[in-house]
């Protein structure tokens, strides 16, 4: 599995793992893969705390950070909106729809004093700048940008500090734009992936992107949770795998029990690409929440970052009361996750997942090369 990307990043296996959870990131990097911490919802203080912890934990192994850098969002022309400005844009009708939904599912309000002040997702340059300062104050090996091409200030700073820039793309057009902007690695992410996705499947997207951006190396993402799928990714021309969903079903992941239960039971038909979570299409578990927002009678999800802002408090309530007697909050809770959820049928340690991926990859290569 020694590929160009493995060499660039200095890892044994070119298996990159996206997670919001620092324990998963550290466990992957310690096992020979490469952990990438998703920082879109972190405050600068939390990010500093998590990166300090990861750094101490991994003992010199490399790790990275991922941020959302969308080109299109409400307030982009003004350079981003603060919490108050965002709050003022939330329509009364949407608030009423949300209140009605929570009432229908008997989701209790939070006790006074437990409200977390919602802050808009860190998607504007003003929101991202402090996170970048923190990220670059740690010895990160890679910084990833999702939803838009890496801006010149990011490329310049990263290259000045010998940090590799990766950019996620859902189409060859986006991939070409990211490569022209100066990204060192393109992550070709198919529609079956968890989180924000385009409409093209991994099997079709990866070779198209490999050809479009050559000689820039490509990682395949979307639908990869096993050694056979990694072998397929390399066969398509990728230099490794970028994974996300599989790390929601590991012991180190900070995932609520109600979500773990749903993940273990879900089949590949139980996800949907919906705007109900963030305002941009993201693949997630199909739940009463997605059905309500995408169904008749819904005012429709708001554009990014308004939908997240509108629903932050509701999400906290739904998760808090997912197992409360008399509440049907459990039916509403979900998570971004890809179609490969079908393979997540037990909770294993991160170490076991990586070693089994590598073992199955080797078995696959032997089978294909006539060994058996």
Ligand X SMILES: Cc1cc2nc3c(=O)[nH]c(=O)nc-3n(C[C@H](O)[C@H](O)[C@H](O)COP(=O)(O)O)c2cc1C
Note the residues at the interface with ligand X (CB under 6 A): 18, 38, 40, 66, 68, 144, 146, 168, 189, 192-195, 221-224, 242-246, 335-338, 340
CB of residue 195 to ligand X, shortest distance in Å: 3
CB of residue 278 to ligand X, shortest distance in Å: 9
CB of residue 88 to ligand X, shortest distance in Å: 26
Query: Around Cβ 101, how many Cβ atoms within 10 Å?
Result: 20
CB of residue 241 to ligand X, shortest distance in Å: 8
- Report yes or no: 142 and 159 within 8 Å, Cβ to Cβ: no
User: Considering beta carbons, is residue 48 or 66 the nearer one to ligand X?
Assistant: 66
CB of residue 38 to ligand X, shortest distance in Å: 4
User: Considering beta carbons, is residue 86 or 335 the nearer one to ligand X?
Assistant: 335
The gap between the terminal CA atoms of the chain, to the nearest Å, is 19
User: Considering beta carbons, is residue 18 or 63 the nearer one to ligand X?
Assistant: 18
CB of residue 187 to ligand X, shortest distance in Å: 6
User: Considering beta carbons, is residue 97 or 247 the nearer one to ligand X?
Assistant: 247
Residue nearest to ligand X (CB): 244
Cα-Cα-Cα-Cα dihedral sign, residues 363, 365, 366, 370: positive
User: Considering beta carbons, is residue 106 or 268 the nearer one to ligand X?
Assistant: 268
CB of residue 342 to ligand X, shortest distance in Å: 11
CB of residue 271 to ligand X, shortest distance in Å: 9
User: Considering beta carbons, is residue 18 or 321 the nearer one to ligand X?
Assistant: 18
User: Considering beta carbons, is residue 94 or 344 the nearer one to ligand X?
Assistant: 344
User: Considering beta carbons, is residue 342 or 362 the nearer one to ligand X?
Assistant: 342
């Amino acid at each position: 599995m020694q590929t160009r990307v493995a060499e660039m990043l200095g890892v044994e296996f070119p298996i990159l793992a996206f997670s919001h959870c620092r324990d998963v990131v550290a466990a992957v990097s310690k096992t020979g893969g490469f952990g990438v911490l998703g920082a879109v919802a972190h405050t600068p203080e939390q990010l500093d705390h998590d990166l300090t912890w990861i750094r101490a934990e991994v003992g010199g192994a490399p790790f990275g950070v991922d941020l959302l850098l969308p080109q299109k969002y409400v307030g982009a022309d003004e350079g981003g909106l603060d919490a108050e400005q965002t709050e003022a844009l939330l329509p009364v009708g949407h608030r009423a729809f949300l209140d009605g939904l929570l009432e229908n599912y008997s989701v209790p309000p939070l006790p006074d004093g437990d409200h977390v002040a919602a802050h808009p997702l860190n998607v504007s340059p003003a929101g991202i700048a402090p996170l970048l300062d923190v990220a670059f104050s740690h010895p990160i090996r890679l910084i990833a940008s999702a939803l838009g091409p890496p801006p010149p200030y990011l490329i310049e700073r990263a290259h000045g500090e010998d940090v590799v820039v990766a950019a996620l793309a859902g189409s060859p057009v986006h991939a070409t734009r990211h490569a022209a902007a100066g990204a060192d690695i393109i992550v070709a992410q198919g529609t079956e992936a968890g989180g924000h996705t385009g409409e093209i499947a991994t099997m079709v997207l990866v070779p198209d992107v490999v050809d479009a951006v050559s000689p820039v190396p490509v990682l395949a993402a979307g639908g990869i949770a096993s050694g056979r799928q990694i072998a397929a990714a390399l066969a398509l021309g990728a230099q490794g795998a970028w994974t996300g969903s599989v790390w929601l079903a590991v012991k180190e992941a900070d995932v609520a029990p109600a979500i773990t239960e749903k993940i273990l039971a879900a089949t590949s038909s139980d996800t949907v690409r919906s705007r109900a979570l963030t305002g941009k299409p993201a693949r997630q578990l199909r739940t009463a929440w997605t059905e309500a927002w995408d169904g008749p009678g819904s005012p429709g999800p708001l554009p990014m970052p308004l939908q997240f802002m509108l629903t932050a408090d509701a999400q906290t309530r739904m998760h808090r009361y997912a197992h409360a007697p008399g509440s049907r909050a459990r039916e509403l809770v979900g998570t971004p996750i890809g179609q490969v959820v079908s393979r997540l049928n037990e909770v294993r340690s991160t170490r076991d997942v990586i070693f089994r991926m590598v073992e199955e990859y080797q078995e696959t290569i032997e089978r294909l090369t006539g060994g058996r």
